[in-house]
Amino acid sequence: MPTIRPQSLPLRALRAPSTSRSQSQFSRQIKLTPSVSPVASIPSKAQSHQFLRNHTTSSVSQDEVSHFSSLASSWWDPMGPSRILHLMNPLRHEFIASCLAESSPSTDTQASTSTSTATATATASPPANLHYLDIGCGGGIFAESLARTIPLDPSNPAPTPTRAASMTAIDPTTDLIQIAKKHARLDPTVDSHLRSGKFRYLNTTLEDVLASESESNPGSTSTSTSTSSSTSSSSVTHPQFDIVTLFEVIEHIDPKTTTYQSFLEKCLSAVKPGGWLIGSTISRTFPSFLLNQVIAEAPWPIGVVPRGTHEWSKFVNPPELHGWAQEGLMRLADGGVTRAGSGALDGMLWKCVGAVYVPGFGWKMVPGSEDWGNYFWAVRRGV
């Protein structure tokens, strides 16, 4: 599929704030009480721990939590073990912008009621009115960069390609959430969003976010049981977002407690009708084994990520991901999988493009390379 080249996001919005303190000094620093979200009711940190004790089915791998906890102190070192993630970050914004250029949650809703309104919206600068959920945010490399694009003055927002109005970022690793919060406070703009509640970090899991409303209302269901968009919206009781991001996460879930299809279905249930689930992962191929496990995890100076970061058997091929997304949307619509005559896939869009790391030049989108290495993918949920 050809990739759309949206306007570039200003580099200042993607960079961490400058500081005279060394990275090691920052590592030794490190609290924020989550504010009320402008988009949804999600458990506070204390509440999330209660959910963790009560919720037995989780996609979180404790081995992965331990591994990434060990990287917490160096997470924001642009030349450290997370260097590849820092370099990939601009491409994440670019891919999100390409999805919104193809189909925007807000403009699509308007188009369903009035063609003239949709035409007028397309010609005007789109507003910054989209609410984001970042699953598996880690130390906040992407979440913080997106929060930096949220307008300080909602009445006079400067248009940005990702059109963010709020960001909720979640991760089960306590050390990484603490690092993320502390680093976010170094930037006055981001700190302002933290204090206003437009930007939140929560030490919790996706399962607990989805359970936050449904468990408090036992008689309700957590997902829709109707293909009608109007019925769907009214029957959902858990928080939903315009954009849900899943960058470098699906290959780290625990296959002993969940399946990829089940996890993807949960992610899709957090997406509003007309919204996008956007992520990145790695194909399970022989070239990816050589590049991402043998070479990338080799000792310095060859390797670029710590040993144990990847497990080749957990990598996911694009056709698998596409199929799970289709099945997930059908299950969300009727509780089962109806291959013939189902309207659950009406309006669904699928995007996929490969990404290649070129030493000295960084990450580049390369259409066609998704079948043998890193790639970005996106699923648009029908209105």
Residue 379: both structure tokens together: 């699923």
Domains and CATH numbers, the chain: 41-117+126-380 (3.40.50.150)
Determine phi and psi for 241, rounding to 5 degrees: -135, 160
| pLDDT, tens digit, 9 for 90 and up, residues 173-221 | 898 999 999 999 999 999 999 999 999 999 999 999 998 864 443 333 3
Q: Kind and range of the H or E element at 190?
A: helix 188-196
- Could you tell me which residue, 79 or 180, shows the higher pLDDT? 180
In angstroms, the CA 355 to CA 196 distance is 35
pLDDT at 114 over 70: no
The answer to whether 199 is a known ligand-binding residue is no
Confidence label for 117 from pLDDT (cuts 50, 70 and 90):
very low
Contact criterion met (CB below 8 Å) for 48 and 204: yes
Residue 136: the pLDDT is: 94
pLDDT (tens digit per residue) in 303-359: 566 676 667 788 899 999 999 999 999 888 876 555 545 677 888 999 999 999 888
Q: Is 371 annotated as a binding residue?
A: no
Cβ count near 354 (within 10 Å): 20
Instruction: Return d(Cα 344, Cα 328) in angstroms, integer.
Output: 10
Determine if the peptide bond prior to 301 is cis (ω within 30°).
yes
Where are any strands of DSSP class E within 72-161? 130-135
49 is in an annotated binding site: no
Q: How far apart are CA 231 and CA 257, in angstroms?
A: 31
- What is the average pLDDT across 4-17? 45
Q: Any binding-site annotation on 94?
A: no
Q: Convert the pLDDT of each residue in 122-170 to its tens digit.
A: 445 567 789 999 999 989 999 999 999 999 887 777 778 999 999 999 9
Q: What is the pLDDT of residue 58?
A: 61
Does the annotation flag 63 for ligand binding? no
Residue 296 has pLDDT above 60, yes or no: yes
Average pLDDT, stretch 63-74? Answer: 58
Of 265 and 254, the one with more pLDDT: 265
What strands lie across the sheet with 271-282, from one edge to the other?
199-202, 164-170, 130-135, 241-247, 271-282, 374-380, 349-358, 362-365
Please indicate if the annotation marks 247 as binding a ligand. yes
Give Rg (Cα) of the chain. Answer: 20
Give the position of tokens 């933290």.
Answer: 194
pLDDT, mean over the chain: 74
* pLDDT over 70, % of the chain: 63
Q: Is 248 known to sit in a ligand binding site?
A: yes
DSSP H or E run through 86: helix 83-102
Cα separation, 283 vs 296, in Å, equals 15
* Bigger pLDDT: 256 vs 214: 256
How many Å apart are CA 378 and CA 342, to the nearest integer? 21
Confidence band, pLDDT 50/70/90 cuts, at residue 277: very high
Residues above pLDDT 90, as percent of the chain: 40
Q: Any bridge partners for residue 200, and if so which?
A: 168
- Give the up-direction half-sphere exposure of residue 81: CA atoms within 13 A in the CB hemisphere: 18
